[in-house]
Amino acid sequence: MSDPSQTTDLQTLEQRAISKPLVTHIYTADPSAHVFEGKLYIYPSHDIDAGIPFDDEGSHFGMEDYHVLRMDSPDGEAEDCGVALHVKDVAWAQRQMWAPDAAQKDGRYYLYFPAKRADGVFQIGVAVGDRPEGPFVPEPDAMQGSYSIDPAVFGDDDGAYYMYFGGLWGGQLQKYRDNVRDEAHVEPADDEPALGPKIARLREDMKEFAEAPREVLILDENGEPLHAGDHDRRFFEASWLHKHGGRYYFSYSTGNTHYLCYAVGDNPYGPFTYQGRILTPVVGWTTHHSICAFGDQWYLFYHDSILSGGVTHLRSIKVAPLRHDAQGRIETIDPYGA
């Protein structure tokens, strides 16, 4: 476990932090940032203390709604646009509104979100609005064939939209093989290929998958799939896709080793070849991000738990510049500037 709060006191880390929380009146996490109508819109989880005991399923992440944040520029103030969607308004969902994302097509806005059904199974839903900040009206049912958590939607230059999704452990991805859930399934053995995130192209109306989800392969430097035991590099959760220099950059969290990493490929489906780390561990167990260009500059949106004094489910989103070097490699960011 490489949580820096174990070795350095929080006040020192706060002083060293390369960026400050974007908002402090609520806790926010899992920021998905997009430029819509010339402004930055950020779709985060809204962290609360729901009073639910800690467990390995992440039940203490008991979020109930989403707020959308708006910024004129990455160095400006973040405005809270209010509640965009509440779980009580989602017919199929009961609890745990985890990391969302959003997309825009033909003047309409789509908020994608995971939540648990009453039977405790995660699915992914979509809600539709006319404005980037919502309000969003949820579809009555979850997206058919969706499962697990952390939807991230990427719109390619040819007009196709793709959803990446999945997360291990509390995110339930390990219970699925070939898109079928079986409670008996667990993570593969250490020397077997790691479970990958999933990808599915979205239908023209953005409300359903146009195809069955496929596995996304992440390969090592020899072209072999990363192994399940390679905890420093294998996919855990927090998918994101950005395109730079004509190449597709798939980034993700390694979960229990607390890195944000990336892998590069030639098309949205992959395979992607592992390249390195984007962000070293933050204070708090989870790490989750998005990568977004504003003008000519790329930015990393991420979170940590410094504001709450290290409470892992009370996080705050932040932003830092992100640089691709001349070879297209992303320069690793240390959130505490060491």
Helices (H) and strands (E) in the chain, counts: 1, 22
Q: Are 22 and 71 in contact (CB under 8 A)?
A: yes
167 binds ligand FUB (CB under 6 A): yes
133 binds ligand FUB (CB under 6 A): no
Q: Please give the Cα distance from 16 to 18 (Å, whole number).
A: 6
> Catalytic one among 30, 101, 150, 215?
30
Examine the residue annotation and report whether 224 is marked as an active-site residue of this protein: no
288 binds ligand FUB (CB under 6 A): yes
Least distance between ligand FUB and beta carbon 288 (Å)? 4
Within a 10 A sphere around the Cβ of 158, how many other Cβ atoms? 6
Least distance between ligand FUB and beta carbon 167 (Å)? 6
Element (H, E) at 13: helix 10-16
Q: Please give the Cα distance from 249 to 274 (Å, whole number).
A: 10
Adjacent-strand bridge partners of 248? 243, 265
286 binds ligand FUB (CB under 6 A): yes
78 binds ligand FUB (CB under 6 A): no
Least distance between ligand FUB and beta carbon 303 (Å)? 7
Least distance between ligand FUB and beta carbon 28 (Å)? 10
Q: Which of 116, 237, 283, 335 binds ligand FUB (CB under 6 A)?
A: 237
150 binds ligand FUB (CB under 6 A): yes
> What one-letter code names the amino acid at 284?
G
Q: Which of 238, 264, 279, 330 binds ligand FUB (CB under 6 A)?
A: 238
Q: Are 58 and 99 in contact (CB under 8 A)?
A: no
Q: Which of 41, 66, 98, 302 binds ligand FUB (CB under 6 A)?
A: 98
> Catalytic one among 47, 133, 150, 237?
237
DSSP single-letter state for residue 11: H
Encoded tokens for 55: 């467990």
Least distance between ligand FUB and beta carbon 132 (Å)? 21
Adjacent-strand bridge partners of 32? 43
Q: Which is nearer to ligand FUB, 34 or 313 (CB)?
A: 313
Which of 103, 144, 110, 105 has its CA nearest to residue 124?
144
45 binds ligand FUB (CB under 6 A): yes
Q: Give exposure, 207-227, as e/b (b: 16+ Cβ within 10 Å).
A: bbbeeebebbbbbeeeeebbb
Examine the residue annotation and report whether 30 is marked as an active-site residue of this protein: yes
Q: Which is nearer to ligand FUB, 99 or 241 (CB)?
A: 99
279 binds ligand FUB (CB under 6 A): no
Task: Classify residue 57 as exposed, middle or buried by CB count within 10 Å of its CB (0-12, 13-18, 19+).
Answer: middle
Binding mask 2-41 for ligand FUB (x = CB under 6 A): ---------------------------xx-----------
Least distance between ligand FUB and beta carbon 285 (Å)? 8
Q: How many residues does the chain have?
A: 338
What residues act catalytically?
30, 237
Using CB under 6 A, list all residues that contact ligand FUB.
29-30, 45, 61, 98-99, 149-150, 167, 237-238, 286, 288
